[in-house]
């Protein structure tokens, strides 16, 4: 049996999310009536146990267990729910904020650490790229040609009259300084603990 | 200019009579009547135990006649209690030559100190004496409205309103843009009443009412006609109509239908939601009125074949638009609704899949006079659907672009009705209604349960998309109660589309300058207490032009609108004469008054500002924006306020505090309430009743402060149309007070509410204390 205690404020979590800088729909979240339109169009819901409506319901009930709920990691960030919600809520943004809370609590390393490679690449070459740990998946999904394209990238660019993809040394240094100033390197190291 | 105010009156030696009421001790226990009598300077001073009794009337009348009194002051209770009584008692004097000094609710009932209360009573009577000296004899303005009305829109609301007016003896013009009256109810097919738990034929209910309308001698039906312009003048609407040719003489046409056999043009039939075809010459529906064919010139090829065939020679292919003038006393707007365009929600596949239809189309399909003669069939194949899924709230309760935030109020009932009809006739067809909330208020709940008993299934969830999978359609929805993502396979999908304002409603609101809501419906004056009047005096609204509603509510509102019209027709319009008047010599046509007036009383007619006395509330806001000072409120209001102020400040003693409080009707009632409940407040509070606080000008406030008022308190009810204006004005006046070298804190502005009388008493106390703590 559930008891709604006389002095609990179930909206604390919702209010925290509404005030989050990432949240652009501050007028939407509290207006949710659980119609389920988000779930009806959600690829994550179709292919897994993730349910954006149920996630919002937990948020509105102040149920903090939603933060450690593993299914919230199945959102694709496709933003369909964001664009179709009849009351102007965004389950997708709520999801992102919940994930950030989970990361801050240190309970999401398993889900997030594979992505640390993106930051390493940025630090090393000053460019966004796909880290090695995803290469095998991409070859499996796209095919051999993806690997071939990678091997011969500079040659292909040369034929197209493009310069090689390289940042000037100084720029890479600057980017490194910037990323360190923002504390991104520390955050990534924390994920790897 | 503020120091010396010469008060002008027509006659310098006006004879004033003051009549004091003891009110059975209510006044005389606290106010020393003898001292009061001896302190008043008037031609006659009388006292009486109960002035409001018939004996009181005799005393007042005898004195007026024998002592030749010109003005009367009644020093008794509140004008809210007895003003009408004493206006009657002072006959043969004009009722506006009397003023009441409120010695009971605002003196003896709120003060305990006899000396102070008596002094205050003397001041209140003095103020009334000064005020009546400035009063003028005015007569109420009588507006003669012609006993005729125009009803715009010939659907069930317009028809009901017209019929009700006609039966009350009002000549009524029923104006309809389409070639027949009848409106949306014609297409519905079946209607139902939740009490009987049965569906009935809509046309069978509508037709007798239509016939009655057609045959009523007080109703003139104008079809193919729309409103071009309207002009309003004191209870008169001059309307210009554009009447479009029918190309078939309705007098000659006998509705034999030979013409349609000949016509080569086929177009989708709009009266059948485009589900069937009709010819370019056609009759909208069998029972349409006028009972004649009509040619839709957009599609006619003018081949002339129908003319040759017509045995009556009723057809003519050359016709001109006609401009028809109309003069009526009132207008009822019954311009109705349209439904949400399902193409705006492409995810539901309305234009991709033949078997995705709207509830309106389903109504046509199930209708015996519809495209399938009442058989439920899929549009893509010639068979009965195995399953029908209904999607609720399409365009309603939806804040996305083009959506409507409101609930359309009828779609749950419409869905249940059509679902029930399907279940009666085709029990093997599965019907699932996908809903967010079932809204079936009142008796409709019974019909909801009745539907469930018939096997209608309900799934709580708002579908996101309709797709095709193999042979059938698929509705994607989360069953929110099971918490399951679900795909429903179905043969047919029915969209319950929102009710939205018709194009006609939008057009007429622009033409007549009638206020609309944020949802573009025609706005009623007050959603609670004035549900059919609009902000244009003499124009009323009913039916779905005003907001989503069902047939029952539309008819009720139509009757309400008709009775509001009958009020002004039967009893004439007696308007308080204190309205704005304009001096055309001074007016420079800057139109500032037009833009500030929330009552829409000002307009330009023939290069002059015209003020409609019917619409003007006399609030006086226009005076404040009129730079050439061309506007004046009839009845000497300005001078009366000055006189009251100077009377209230008369004989002020050294060290005495006097605070003037200006209150409108609501505030004054709240102040009376303080007395009625015997709550006390300082004797320094002197209340002046004004029709609207807008009539209190900066000059009055400065004049009061310059001539001995220690503070000025202005109270207004926030529901007043002009409230925002007043609030803005206060800050300007504070600046002005500063310019005159006085403390702007001596002016206070506050909200008042009738039930919040204790709060008002506290505000008086606080303001009195605040003034007391100020130096100079």
* Structural element, H or E, at residue B575: strand B573-575
Chain A: residue nearest B402 by CA?
Answer: A86
Could you tell me if residue B66 is inside a domain?
yes
With residues binned 3-state (H G I as helix, E B as strand, rest as coil), the percentages for chain B, rounded to 5, are 35, 25, 45
Chain B: residue nearest A48 by CA?
Answer: B485
- Residue whose C-alpha is closest to residue A97's, from A16, A174, A152, A153: A16
B436 interaction partners in chain A (CB closer than 8 Å): 33, 35
A74 interaction partners in chain B (CB closer than 8 Å): none
Could you tell me if residue B544 is inside a domain?
no
Residues B431 and B482 in one domain: yes
Residue ranges of chain B whose CB lies within 8 Å of a chain A CB: 347, 393, 397-400, 403, 436-437, 460-465, 476-480, 483, 485
Judged by CB atoms closer than 8 Å, whether chains meet at A84 and B400 is answered as: yes
Burial class (CB in 10 A: 0-12, 13-18, 19+), B638: middle
> What's the CA gap between A185 and A180, in Å, rounded?
6
Last residue of a domain, one of B270, B287, B320: B320
Judged by CB atoms closer than 8 Å, whether chains meet at B464 and A41 is answered as: yes
Residues B359 and B464 in one domain: yes
> What's the CA gap between B776 and B773, in Å, rounded?
10
**Across the interface, which of A33, A38, A88 has its CB nearest the CB of B436?**
A33
Residue of A37, A84, A89 to mutate, testing the B interface (most B Cβ within 10 Å of its Cβ): A37
> What's the CA gap between B473 and B470, in Å, rounded?
8
> What's the CA gap between B27 and B33, in Å, rounded?
8
Judged by CB atoms closer than 8 Å, whether chains meet at A36 and B465 is answered as: no
Q: Name the minimum distance, in Å, from the CA of B394 to any CA of chain A.
A: 10
Residues B421 and B313 in one domain: no
Last residue of a domain, one of B467, B500, B533: B500
A53 interaction partners in chain B (CB closer than 8 Å): 478, 480
Could you tell me if residue B191 is inside a domain?
no
Judged by CB atoms closer than 8 Å, whether chains meet at A36 and B437 is answered as: no
Residues B370 and B492 in one domain: yes
Q: Name the minimum distance, in Å, from the CA of A85 to any CA of chain B.
A: 8
pLDDT by 10s per residue, chain A, length 193: 878 888 888 899 999 999 999 999 888 999 999 999 999 999 999 999 999 999 999 999 999 999 999 999 999 999 999 999 999 999 999 999 999 999 989 899 889 988 889 999 999 999 888 998 899 999 999 999 999 998 898 899 999 999 888 889 999 999 999 999 999 988 888 888 7
Retrieve residue B544's tokens: 């779905």
Chain A: residue nearest B483 by CA?
Answer: A54
Check residue B704 and give its pLDDT.
95
A34 interaction partners in chain B (CB closer than 8 Å): 480
Could you tell me if residue B531 is inside a domain?
no
Q: Name the minimum distance, in Å, from the CA of B720 to any CA of chain A.
A: 29
Domain that holds residue B414: 338-500
Residues B30 and B87 in one domain: yes
Residue B489: strand pairing partners:
B474
Judged by CB atoms closer than 8 Å, whether chains meet at A37 and B437 is answered as: no
Q: At what angle do helices B114-133 and B637-648 cross, to 10 degrees?
A: 150
- Residue whose C-alpha is closest to residue B284's, from B184, B161, B173: B184
A30 interaction partners in chain B (CB closer than 8 Å): none
Phi, psi (degrees; rounded to nearest 5) at B90 = -90, 5
Residues B605 and B661 in one domain: no
Could you tell me if residue B511 is inside a domain?
no
Last residue of a domain, one of B119, B139, B159: B139
Judged by CB atoms closer than 8 Å, whether chains meet at A38 and B464 is answered as: yes
Could you tell me if residue B604 is inside a domain?
yes
Check residue B11 and give its pLDDT.
59
- Chains A, B: CB contacts within 8 A come to 62
- Residue whose C-alpha is closest to residue B522's, from B543, B553, B549, B537: B543
Q: Name the minimum distance, in Å, from the CA of B449 to any CA of chain A.
A: 22
Could you tell me if residue B263 is inside a domain?
yes
Q: Are the beta carbons of B326 and B239 closer than 8 angstroms?
A: yes
Residues B346 and B483 in one domain: yes
Secondary structure class of B353 (helix, strand, coil): coil
Residues B308 and B252 in one domain: yes
Phi, psi (degrees; rounded to nearest 5) at A59 = -60, -45
Residue of B437, B459, B464, B482 to mutate, testing the A interface (most A Cβ within 10 Å of its Cβ): B464
Low-confidence stretches of chain B (pLDDT beneath 50): 1-9
Residues B316 and B347 in one domain: no
Give the CATH class of A11-105.
mainly alpha
**Across the interface, which of A37, A54, A80 has its CB nearest the CB of B462?**
A37
A58 interaction partners in chain B (CB closer than 8 Å): none
> Range(s) for CATH 1.10.1060.10 in chain A?
11-105
Judged by CB atoms closer than 8 Å, whether chains meet at A86 and B463 is answered as: no
With residues binned 3-state (H G I as helix, E B as strand, rest as coil), the percentages for chain A, rounded to 5, are 65, 0, 35
| Digit-coded pLDDT (tens) for B92-125 | 899 999 999 999 999 999 999 999 999 999 999 9
> What's the CA gap between A42 and B484, in Å, rounded?
12
Check residue A1 and give its pLDDT.
81
Judged by CB atoms closer than 8 Å, whether chains meet at B485 and A84 is answered as: no
Q: Name the minimum distance, in Å, from the CA of B401 to any CA of chain A.
A: 10
Residues B347 and B445 in one domain: yes
> What's the CA gap between B756 and B667, in Å, rounded?
10
Could you tell me if residue B489 is inside a domain?
yes
**What ranges in B585-715 are assigned the alpha helix state H?**
592-596, 621-625, 637-648, 665-676, 698-706
Residues B609 and B658 in one domain: no
Q: Are the beta carbons of B237 and B540 closer than 8 angstroms?
A: no
A80 interaction partners in chain B (CB closer than 8 Å): 464
Judged by CB atoms closer than 8 Å, whether chains meet at B483 and A54 is answered as: yes
Retrieve residue A165's tokens: 């993809």
DSSP secondary structure string for all residues of B112-146? --HHHHHHHHHHHHHHHHHHHHT-----PEEE---
Secondary structure class of B283 (helix, strand, coil): coil
Residues B64 and B106 in one domain: yes
Burial class (CB in 10 A: 0-12, 13-18, 19+), B668: buried
**Across the interface, which of B397, B464, B483 has its CB nearest the CB of A40?**
B464
CB within 8 Å of B762: residues ≥ 6 apart: none
Domain tally for chain B?
5
CATH assignment of the domain containing B390: 3.50.50.60
Per-residue burial over A20-40, b = 16 or more CB atoms within 10 Å of its CB, e = otherwise: beebebeebbeebebbbbbbb
> What's the CA gap between B598 and B61, in Å, rounded?
42
> What's the CA gap between B138 and B425, in Å, rounded?
71
Q: Name the minimum distance, in Å, from the CA of A39 to any CA of chain B.
A: 6
CB within 8 Å of B190: residues ≥ 6 apart: B199, B200, B201, B202, B363, B366, B367, B417, B421
Q: Are the beta carbons of B730 and B713 closer than 8 angstroms?
A: no
Judged by CB atoms closer than 8 Å, whether chains meet at B478 and A39 is answered as: yes
Q: Are the beta carbons of B218 and B172 closer than 8 angstroms?
A: yes
């Amino acid at each position: 049996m559930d008891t709604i205690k006389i002095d609990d404020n179930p909206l604390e979590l919702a209010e925290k999310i509404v005030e989050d800088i990432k949240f652009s729909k501050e007028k939407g979240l509290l207006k949710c009536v659980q119609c389920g339109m988000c779930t009806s169009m959600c690829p994550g819901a179709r292919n897994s146990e993730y349910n954006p409506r149920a996630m919002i319901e937990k948020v509105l009930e102040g149920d903090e267990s939603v933060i450690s709920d593993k299914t919230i990691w199945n959102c694709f960030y496709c933003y369909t729910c964001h664009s179709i919600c009849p009351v102007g809520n965004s389950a997708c943004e709520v999801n992102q904020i919940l994930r950030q809370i989970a990361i801050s609590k240190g309970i999401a390393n398993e889900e997030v650490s594979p992505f640390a490679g993106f930051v390493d690449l940025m630090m090393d070459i000053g460019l966004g790229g796909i880290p090695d740990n995803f290469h095998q998946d991409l070859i499996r999904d796209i095919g051999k040609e993806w690997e071939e394209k990678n091997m011969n990238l500079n040659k292909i660019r040369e034929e197209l009259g493009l310069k090689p993809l390289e940042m000037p040394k100084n720029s890479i240094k600057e980017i490194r300084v910037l990323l360190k100033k923002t504390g991104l390197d520390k955050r990534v190291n924390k994920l790897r603990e | 200019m503020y120091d010396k105010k010469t008060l002008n009156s027509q006659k310098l030696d006006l004879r004033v009579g003051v009549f004091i009421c003891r009110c059975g001790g209510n006044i005389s226990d606290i106010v020393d009547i003898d001292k009061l009598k001896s302190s008043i300077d008037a031609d006659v001073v009388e006292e009486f135990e109960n002035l409001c009794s018939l004996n009181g009337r005799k005393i007042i009348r005898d004195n007026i006649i024998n002592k030749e009194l010109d003005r009367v002051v009644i020093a008794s209770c509140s004008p809210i209690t007895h003003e009408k009584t004493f206006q009657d008692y002072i006959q043969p004097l004009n009722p506006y030559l009397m003023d009441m000094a409120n010695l009971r609710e605002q003196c003896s009932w709120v003060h305990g100190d006899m000396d102070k209360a008596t002094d205050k009573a003397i001041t209140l009577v003095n103020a009334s004496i000064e005020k009546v000296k400035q009063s003028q004899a005015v007569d109420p303005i009588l507006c003669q409205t012609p006993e005729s009305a125009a009803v715009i829109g010939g659907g069930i609301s317009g028809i009901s309103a017209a019929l009700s007016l006609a039966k009350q003896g009002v000549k009524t013009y029923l104006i309809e843009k389409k070639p027949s009256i009848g409106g949306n109810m014609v297409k519905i097919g079946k209607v139902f009443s939740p009490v009987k738990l049965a569906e009935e034929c809509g046309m069978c209910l509508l037709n007798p009412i239509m016939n009655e309308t057609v045959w009523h001698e007080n109703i003139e039906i104008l079809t193919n006609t729309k409103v071009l312009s309207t002009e309003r003048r004191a209870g008169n609407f001059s309307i210009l109509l554009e009447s479009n040719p029918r190309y078939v003489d309705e007098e000659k046409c006998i509705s034999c239908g030979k013409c349609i056999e000949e016509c080569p043009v086929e177009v989708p039939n709009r009266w059948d939601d485009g589900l069937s075809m009709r010819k370019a010459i056609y009759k909208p529906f069998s029972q349409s009125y006028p009972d004649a064919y009509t040619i839709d010139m957009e599609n006619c090829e003018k081949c002339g074949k129908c003319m040759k065939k017509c045995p009556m020679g009723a057809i003519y292919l050359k016709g001109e638009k006609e401009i028809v003038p109309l003069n009526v006393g009132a207008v009822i707007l019954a311009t109705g609704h349209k439904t949400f365009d399902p193409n705006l929600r492409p995810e539901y596949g309305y234009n991709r899949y033949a078997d995705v239809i709207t509830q309106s189309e389903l109504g046509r399909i199930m209708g015996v006079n519809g495209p399938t003669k009442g058989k439920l069939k899929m549009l893509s194949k010639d068979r009965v659907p195995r399953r029908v899924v209904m999607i609720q709230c399409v365009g309603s309760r939806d804040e996305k672009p083009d959506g409507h935030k409101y609930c359309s109020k009828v779609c749950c009932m419409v869905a249940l009705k059509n679902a029930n009809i399907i279940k009666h006739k085709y029990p093997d067809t599965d019907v699932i209604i996908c809903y967010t909330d079932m809204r079936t208020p009142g008796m409709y709940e019974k019909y909801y349960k009745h539907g469930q008993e018939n096997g209608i299934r309900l799934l709580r969830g708002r579908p996101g998309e309709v797709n095709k999978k193999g042979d059938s359609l698929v509705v994607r929805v989360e069953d929110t109660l099971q918490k399951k993502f679900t795909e429903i396979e179905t043969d047919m999908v029915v969209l319950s589309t929102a009710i939205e304002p018709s194009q006609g409603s939008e057009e007429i609101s622009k033409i007549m300058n009638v206020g609309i809501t944020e949802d573009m419906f025609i706005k009623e004056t007050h959603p609670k207490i004035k549900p059919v009047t609009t902000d244009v005096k003499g124009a009323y609204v009913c039916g779905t032009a005003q907001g989503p509603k069902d047939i029952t509510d539309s008819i009720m509102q139509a009757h309400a609108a008709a009775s509001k019209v009958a009020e002004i027709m039967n009893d004439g319009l007696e308007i308080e004469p204190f309205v704005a008047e304009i001096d055309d010599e001074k007016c420079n046509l800057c139109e500032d008054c037009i833009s500030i007036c929330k009552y829409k009383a000002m307009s330009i007619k023939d290069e002059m500002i015209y003020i409609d006395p019917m619409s003007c509330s006399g609030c006086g806001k226009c005076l404040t924006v009129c730079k050439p000072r061309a506007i004046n409120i009839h009845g000497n209001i300005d001078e009366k306020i000055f006189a009251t102020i100077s009377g209230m400040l008369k004989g002020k003693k050294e060290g005495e505090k006097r605070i003037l409080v200006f209150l409108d009707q609501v505030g004054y009632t709240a102040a009376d309430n303080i007395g009625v409940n015997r709550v006390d407040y300082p004797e320094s509070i002197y209340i002046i009743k004004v029709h609207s606080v807008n009539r209190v000008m900066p000059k009055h406030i400065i004049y009061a402060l310059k001539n001995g008022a220690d503070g000025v308190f202005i109270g207004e009810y926030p529901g007043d149309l002009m409230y925002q204006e007043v609030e803005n004005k206060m800050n300007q006046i504070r600046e002005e007070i500063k310019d005159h070298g006085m403390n702007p804190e001596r002016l206070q502005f506050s909200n008042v509410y009738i039930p919040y009388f204790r709060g008002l008493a506290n505000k008086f106390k606080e303001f009195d204390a605040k003034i007391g703590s100020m130096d100079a």
